[in-house]
Chains A and B, each alone.
Chain A
Amino acid sequence: MTAVETASERAQRAARPKLLPARLRAALPRTRLLTTLTAASLFALWWLAAHYAWVNPLFLPSPKAVWDAFVRTATVGYQGSLLHEHLIASLYRVLAGYALACLVGIPLGIVMGLSRDVKAVFDPVIEFYRPLPPLALYTLIVMWLGIGDASKVAILFLAALPPLTISSMHAAASVDPRYVKAAKSLGANSRQLFRHVFLPACMPGICTGMRISLGFTYTVLVAAEIVAATAGLGWMIWDASKFLLGDIVIMGLFVLAFTGMALDFLIRLAERALTPWRFR
């Protein structure tokens, strides 16, 4: 607001209609409001469609039925496992595969970025299997490792690896040489140079890779569980669909979506903690 405001302008401003009280408008910026409205409209549409039976309830159960399925699965369970047990089974697989991939992929990527020779060795291997659909690869891995957790952790590890390695490699290869020059002229030896310059300079690129990789691993998880499992969210959805249990399927999808969002949120927190200078 300008300092000079005539009386008529002030009156005009006061006369302008306000849709929401000031306090609520401050808490809900325009974009947030639009997002909320979208979610509410979709939910209302769903409720209406179910209520007036526009769609066969077998395929689209009501919000109430889905909520009941949620409560039932959480307390009684589905096919011998409670909901949180399915969730833990899934999370264990995705996090084990992802953590292993981070431990291997990030250092490997950094070394590949620094040495052409190492890159020449590993790059063709990764580039060969990267475009393969994970499920195609999974059939082979199941043949080798069986349908237990080992095969799932293995496929998730393989799915998580390329984005991590490739972005770490690019990050390490594109460290600004001026920083290296500055550090050397300040007396840094090669070990100090790596710790104080290379690692932090690579960190933003590594974080991007970690985020992309986690999202991708999570999508592969569900596919892997559909092929062969006895517990897990993906398996639960797949199994319920065979019995046309639409409520369980939709409930499972919601749990998957919220879990995925929670994982993404956590990785963003980690990004903030690892590269605080980018968030100032």
Chain B
Amino acid sequence: MSAGRDAMSMPPPLPVPTHLAPTPGRGRLQLKDISIAYGEGAARRTVVERFDLDVEPGEFVCVLGPSGCGKSTVLNAVAGFVPAARGLLEVDGETIQGPGADRGMVFQQATLFPWKSVLENVAFGPLMSTGSTSTAEQRARTFLSLVGLAAFEKHYPSELSGGMQQRVGIARALANYPRVLLMDEPFGALDAQTRAMMQEALLNIWAEFRTTVLFITHDIEEAIFLGDRVVVMSANPGRIVADIRVDIPRPRTPEVQFSETFLAIKRECFAHIRSETLKAFAHQQNATALS
């Protein structure tokens, strides 16, 4: 569907419902000396190695890296879908042992349940934890308003555009009051215009609901525009090569992309990404030559 429809239905700035604000100081994410490997025996391959990351409560951290560098693997480990071969994963000092409602996840494809209405999709998490449909739907309505889609609650996901679906996906993840919001290239499948609108919408939502965010992307500008910090990863195996603080004041408008600070960070990220991509290419070619 068109980006125009999205632009029409962008959320207006909303008053912050006080009960939406998360408990302050909640949502510290700590990854200590993480290694993750796939496969068995000779085919075993280390995807992520010696990965350390500390995310402050309420901080927005973007993980940037070339494709195949293992950035999604890190996210899946935090989500509890992939076990770490070694190291420590903690949210607020509690070890991550599997998927859980305290870590909300937004996927590249919205993965909304097609058999549930928009409202029922957002109510899913609260329904699982409270067992009460009315409580869950009440909470879902609050979050649908937050993403500006209150008018679409009776629609099925297939009736929404890609951008709208992704906003429902964000509302669905937030409705559980997660300590950490995990976003795996959530705007990667959208067209450029919709993506730009969604980035702004996300910042608006986040301004009201200041949860910790771990955001995976391969788009340098997206990472800088959104994040308080940009963590650049290398490939083969995935490691952190740079941890850059983005000192651009909020609220940010799309114009910040032309500021000196923004361009300086972009240049730095670009250099890192380029050298990593070149390395990854050489590695692939070696692998092909050997086989």
> How far, in whole Å, are A189 and B100 apart by their CA atoms in the complex?
10
Q: Is A111 interfacial (CB-CB < 8 Å)?
A: no
* Chain B, range 92-132, C-beta contacts under 8 Å to A: 99-101, 103-105, 107, 109, 111, 113-116, 124-125, 128-129
Query: How far is the CB of B129 from the nearest CB of chain A, in Å?
Result: 6
Instruction: List chain A residues, Cβ under 8 A from B113.
Output: 179, 182-183, 196-197, 200
Partner of A186, one of B81, B158, B159, B172: B172
* Chain A, range 51-101, C-beta contacts under 8 Å to B: none
Query: How far is the CB of A278 from the nearest CB of chain B, in Å?
Result: 8
Query: How far is the CB of B71 from the nearest CB of chain A, in Å?
Result: 17
Instruction: List chain B residues, Cβ under 8 A from A187.
Output: 100-101, 125, 128-129, 176
Query: How far is the CB of A197 from the nearest CB of chain B, in Å?
Result: 7
Asked whether B115 lies within 8 Å of A186 as measured between CB atoms, the reply is no
Q: Is A277 interfacial (CB-CB < 8 Å)?
A: yes
> How far, in whole Å, are A211 and B238 apart by their CA atoms in the complex?
51
Instruction: List chain A residues, Cβ under 8 A from B109.
Output: 178
- Closest chain A residue to B103, Cβ basis: A185
Q: Is B156 interfacial (CB-CB < 8 Å)?
A: yes
| Interface size bracket, A side | 20 to 34
Asked whether A185 lies within 8 Å of B99 as measured between CB atoms, the reply is yes
1/0 contact trace for A185-219 toward B, CB 8 Å?
11111001000110011010000000000000000
> How far, in whole Å, are A179 and B109 apart by their CA atoms in the complex?
11
Q: Is B79 interfacial (CB-CB < 8 Å)?
A: yes
> How far, in whole Å, are A188 and B131 apart by their CA atoms in the complex?
11
| Interface size bracket, B side | 20 to 34
Asked whether A275 lies within 8 Å of B115 as measured between CB atoms, the reply is yes
Q: Is A280 interfacial (CB-CB < 8 Å)?
A: yes
Asked whether B114 lies within 8 Å of A277 as measured between CB atoms, the reply is yes
Asked whether A183 lies within 8 Å of B124 as measured between CB atoms, the reply is yes
Contacts A184-B99, A277-B156 hold; do A189 and B111 have CB atoms under 8 A apart?
Answer: no
Query: How far is the CB of A41 from the nearest CB of chain B, in Å?
Result: 40
1/0 contact trace for A210-236 toward B, CB 8 Å?
000000000000000000000000000
Asked whether A185 lies within 8 Å of B156 as measured between CB atoms, the reply is no
- Closest chain B residue to A193, Cβ basis: B128
Query: How far is the CB of B84 from the nearest CB of chain A, in Å?
Result: 17
- The DSSP consensus for interface residues of chain A is helix
Q: Is A116 interfacial (CB-CB < 8 Å)?
A: no
Contacts A196-B124, A280-B158 hold; do A185 and B115 have CB atoms under 8 A apart?
Answer: no
Instruction: List chain B residues, Cβ under 8 A from A272.
Output: none
Asked whether A185 lies within 8 Å of B129 as measured between CB atoms, the reply is no
Q: Is A25 interfacial (CB-CB < 8 Å)?
A: no
Instruction: List chain B residues, Cβ under 8 A from A280.
Output: 156, 158-159
> How far, in whole Å, are A280 and B152 apart by their CA atoms in the complex?
14
Query: How far is the CB of A48 from the nearest CB of chain B, in Å?
Result: 50
Asked whether B176 lies within 8 Å of A186 as measured between CB atoms, the reply is yes
Residue among A178, A186, A188, A280 having the largest count of chain B Cβ atoms under 10 Å: A186
Query: How far is the CB of A249 from the nearest CB of chain B, in Å?
Result: 46
Instruction: List chain A residues, Cβ under 8 A from B128.
Output: 186-189, 192, 196
Asked whether B114 lies within 8 Å of A185 as measured between CB atoms, the reply is no
Asked whether A201 lies within 8 Å of B115 as measured between CB atoms, the reply is yes
Instruction: List chain B residues, Cβ under 8 A from A179.
Output: 111, 113
> How far, in whole Å, are A183 and B128 apart by their CA atoms in the complex?
9
Asked whether A182 lies within 8 Å of B158 as measured between CB atoms, the reply is no
* Chain A, range 252-280, C-beta contacts under 8 Å to B: 275, 277, 280
Asked whether A186 lies within 8 Å of B125 as measured between CB atoms, the reply is yes
Query: How far is the CB of B52 from the nearest CB of chain A, in Å?
Result: 24
Query: How far is the CB of B79 from the nearest CB of chain A, in Å?
Result: 6
> How far, in whole Å, are A275 and B113 apart by their CA atoms in the complex?
13
Query: How far is the CB of A203 from the nearest CB of chain B, in Å?
Result: 7
- Closest chain B residue to A197, Cβ basis: B113
Instruction: List chain B residues, Cβ under 8 A from A200.
Output: 113, 115-116
Chain A residues packing against B (C-beta within 8 Å): 176, 178-179, 181-189, 192, 196-197, 200-201, 203, 275, 277, 280
21 A-B contacts (beta carbon < 8 Å)? A176-B111, A178-B109, A179-B111, A181-B99, A182-B111, A185-B80, A185-B99, A185-B100, A185-B101, A185-B103, A185-B104, A186-B128, A187-B100, A187-B101, A189-B128, A192-B128, A196-B113, A203-B115, A277-B114, A280-B156, A280-B159
Chain B residues packing against A (C-beta within 8 Å): 79-81, 99-101, 103-105, 107, 109, 111, 113-116, 124-125, 128-129, 156, 158-159, 172-173, 176, 182
A-B pairs with lowest CB-CB distance, top 7: A187-B101, A200-B115, A185-B105, A186-B125, A184-B99, A182-B111, A187-B128
Known: A186-B101, A188-B124, A277-B115. 4 other contacts (CB 8 A): A181-B111, A182-B107, A185-B79, A187-B125
